[in-house]
Chain A
Amino acid sequence: MPTGEKSLLRFVTTGSVDDGKSTLIGRLLYETKSIYDDQYQAIEKSSKKKGLKEVELAYLLDGLAAEREQGITIDVAYRYFETAKRKFIITDSPGHVQYTKNMVTGASKADCAVILIDARNGVLTQSRRHGFLISLLQIPHLIVAVNKMDLVDYSQDVFSRIAEDYMDFSQKLDIHDIVFIPVSALKGDNVAVKSKKMPWYEGATLLHNLENLNVSADRNLVDFRFPVQYVIRPHANFRGFAGKIVSGTIAPSEEVAILPSGKTTSVKSIITYDGELKEAFAPQSVVLTLSDEVDVSRGDLIVRKKNLPAIESSLEAIICWMDDEPMTPEMSYIMKHTTRFVRASVKNIVYKIDVNTLHRQPADTFSLNDIGRVEIKLAVPIFFDPYKMNHATGRFILIDPLTNKTVAAGMIRGAERHVEDYVAGVAADDAKQKKSPHAVWRDLNITLAEREKQSGHRAVVLWFTGLSGSGKSTIAMELERRLFECGCRTAMLDGDIVRHGLCSDLGFSPADRKENIRRAGEVAKILFENGNIVLCTFISPFKEDRSIVRSLFPEGRFIEIHVDCDIEECRRRDPNGLYKKAESGLIKAFTGLSSPYEPPEKPELVIHTKNADIAGCVNALEQYLKDEFKLKIFKNG
């Protein structure tokens, strides 16, 4: 391949202390002949001076004197190598000191992340943390290199267990492409050359994976966005707008809108030093001229007339705090978003995320390395897309106006929304995404807020999950009776009942179970939007299906209740004779026997029914609704 046509891959490497990251990078550079003799001799000299027996490859990567003195990596470093197919930029992100700040910095431009796991230690907290940050930054590809395989006798079992562990954890994350590779960076197994020690591994080497990842498909080529960087006016007859196409494509004569003015015109020409273009695409840097004399300046956004971004002055974002000084809520920071600077303040901290456990916790401020969700108020509206849809228009940095330091990195989730807006807003968006042809979304006549004001209680979904015979329906029916008698608006959605009508066309395969739960979730949503306390009793054995339902509802309005009882007890109870039928082979894929049940990891409430009476269970539920959901409707006593 002629060099000029090679593609580019940027990847970030991360790992815990001593997992051999430097050795791996050293190995990649060595195998691709990217270490020069004099560079090698220089680190050889340094190693000798330190009294080391072997050459410390990490010195190649630790560029600062302080790093070599202390034997630690302080800051992100960049390395370059190329093969016949590709040019690579490695961002080497330190694993320990200031890990979050550095990792977010290092990963921000990456197409792919390589996480190292020491085969002897298995999946550690750090490996999970790195995975979480990669998911947060929406890096599309993850390669997990299980290193030091030579120290575990190249054992397939060790590798498979680590891969399974990590795969299991990654279900919670938003990562869609994971590859696991057993390697020994020290000995070179499966780094650039396929290992003869691991004939059981059928996949490709690390380098082969890096060379063949398809990253051009990760670009957003749909939504044309052109933040104007600079206006070029060489003489009175020419006005061109210089910038980089951050997403999408554009061609002359296409109709465009200028934001914020809202003026519309069309593209006259796409100008470059090398001639005019018939089409331009992300990430090209070009100059646009327009057909009409419209006012355009730096910070404006040029978009297609029929494909507009969101325009808001309040938004929700995930931010990562990067300054030694903690955040001052309500203080006015400078936001840089695309090519604009806008005054911004953090109005509310929704939650902070513990990056080790992924638990959400309340917080008053963010300190160095804290990550969480916030509501941001802007002095003027900005034009954005959610980060997930379009990285370039969904990200920003916050700058301290006094010190000019970059204090935070942010990823926009969307406009700020409260439950009052919920029915009108999110529901309409969702409906737009996946609607039947010809179905028109109509906002509800009476809003949820109005309904709640009249009924005197908030709407909520109580989702009961558990084995057949665990007592879901019994408890739910008793609770509904009590709520009803207190004047609550309630609705009951029972698995057996929906299977008789709404879902009578579905069986018990995983796909049918998924569809069954999807329909139940959608019905629950309608009932919820109408102001009800919705009680849903479904075995719902799969975590993923339940989390899809959860995502339909605003935070705090979906309460998952695990009705827990061991299978022996359920089999003994067998209220509908189903276990007997399953055992005799009449029912295939029966949950708990021939089909798995995945218990919830973090349900809002667990009720053990084995040795409990119905009233006791319902009392516990009632207490939870009073204490945690703040339902004030129950009579005392």
Chain B
Amino acid sequence: MNSLNLSYLRQLEAESIEIMREVAAEFKNPVMLYSVGKDSSVMVRLAQKAFYPGSIPFPLMHVDTGYKFPEMYTFRDEFCKKIDVRLIVEKNEEWIARGCHPLKMGVDKCCSYLKTGALLQALAKHGFDAAIGGARREEEKSRAKERVFSLRDAFGQWDPKNQRPELWDTYNTKINDGESMRIFPLSNWTEKDIWEYIKLEQIPVVPIYFAREREVVEHNGILIPVSASLPGPDEMPGNTVRGKTKKITCRFRSLGCIPCTGAIASRAVTFDEIIAEVRAATKSERENRVIDLTSDSSMEQKKKEGYF
């Protein structure tokens, strides 16, 4: 390649940086949603690049359910401290206190309160008019229809049948009072791209993406890790050691809440091994996410209600 050509990763990078700068320039009070996963790690790096040598001009916000892996909380706090960024953590305390749990009330309802509800509450509480998220079009079929700048009404709802046309890189950033914008700078990235970029840039990620021996329990065909520290009743998967637990070498391909996130059998312990595994994968990245499997249009429904 000659010196005036950009590789596709650098093209994706340039596009994402352009998008973040548009957000910072056009919105009064933007925020970047930070979910601690690999996509969030990449987004933070892109934001550092977009505003270098200045610092990231918006805070990160983690909408926490309380059900995340302990390694995620540790990583989050250390990572954010190191890069000098303001981190906001929000929870739907009311519903967590009432014992909201996927097995008790169903996955859809639990997500609706602890993720969608908490997100909308937090956005309203801080008066954020723009929220940058790490969703990618490749992840899921309704996300494939998503714009880069996606308008939400006063209730945070997405209207997929009535989206603004999005032309070239000329983004329409205008909103009326009460409305807000969701922005997806990673729209055109795939899981492979994310890992290639993490490797290229040596970006730190949560260690549970790498394989090691873990104790798991099988629930509805999904390998749920056993965790002693998880809040909630004992009979719930992940909390019990009474069920048929087994020890296998595994890793997590995408991260969510413990009761709803399955591990995959894997021996990948380096970036290259993960990339090779992703390349050879016959199942999609969200195969182990219970949230997407409840019905054919479960993600679309959640997005319409305000989820990412």
| Interface, chain A (partner B; CB < 8 A) | 3-8, 36-39, 42, 45-46, 60-66, 68, 74-80, 82, 86-87, 89, 101-102, 104-105, 108-109, 216, 221, 229-230, 232-234, 238, 240, 242-244, 249, 271-274, 279, 281, 283-285, 287, 298, 322, 334, 336-337, 339, 391-392, 395-397, 399, 403-406, 409
Contacts and interface: CB of A to CB of B under 8 A. Distances in A.
B11 A283 contact: yes
Contacts of B168: 108-109, 391-392, 395
B170 A38 contact: no
A234 B53 contact: yes
B188 A78 contact: yes
Interface string B12-48: 1111011001101100000000000000000000001
A62 B51 CA distance: 37
B282 interface: yes
A426 to B, nearest CB: 27
Contact of A229 (B25, B54, B167): B25
Interface centre among A60, A229, A234 (most CB of B within 10 A): A229
B25 A298 contact: yes
B239 interface: no
B3 interface: yes
Closest 8 CB pairs of A and B: A8-B8, A63-B141, A36-B284, A285-B17, A404-B174, A65-B297, A273-B49, A273-B52
Contacts of B284: 36, 38-39
B52 A271 contact: yes
A77 B144 contact: yes
B138 interface: yes
B137 A78 contact: yes
Contact of A7 (B8, B17, B138): B8
Contact of B144 (A79, A105, A232, A279): A79
Contacts of A403: 176
Contacts of B301: 65
Given A45-B296, A105-B165, A285 B50 contact: yes
B287 A38 contact: yes
B160 interface: yes
B5 A216 contact: yes
21 contacts: A4-B196, A63-B142, A64-B160, A75-B163, A76-B145, A77-B145, A101-B165, A109-B168, A229-B18, A230-B51, A232-B53, A233-B54, A234-B54, A272-B52, A283-B15, A284-B6, A339-B25, A395-B168, A404-B172, A404-B175, A406-B166
B144 A229 contact: no
B9 interface: yes
A42 B296 CA distance: 7
B165 A104 contact: yes
Given A89-B188, A230-B21, A397-B172, A249 B300 contact: no
B3 A279 contact: yes
Given A75-B145, A79-B138, 20 more contacts: A3-B196, A5-B7, A7-B1, A36-B281, A38-B287, A65-B301, A77-B141, A89-B188, A104-B167, A108-B168, A230-B51, A232-B51, A242-B51, A272-B52, A283-B11, A285-B14, A287-B52, A322-B165, A399-B172, A405-B164
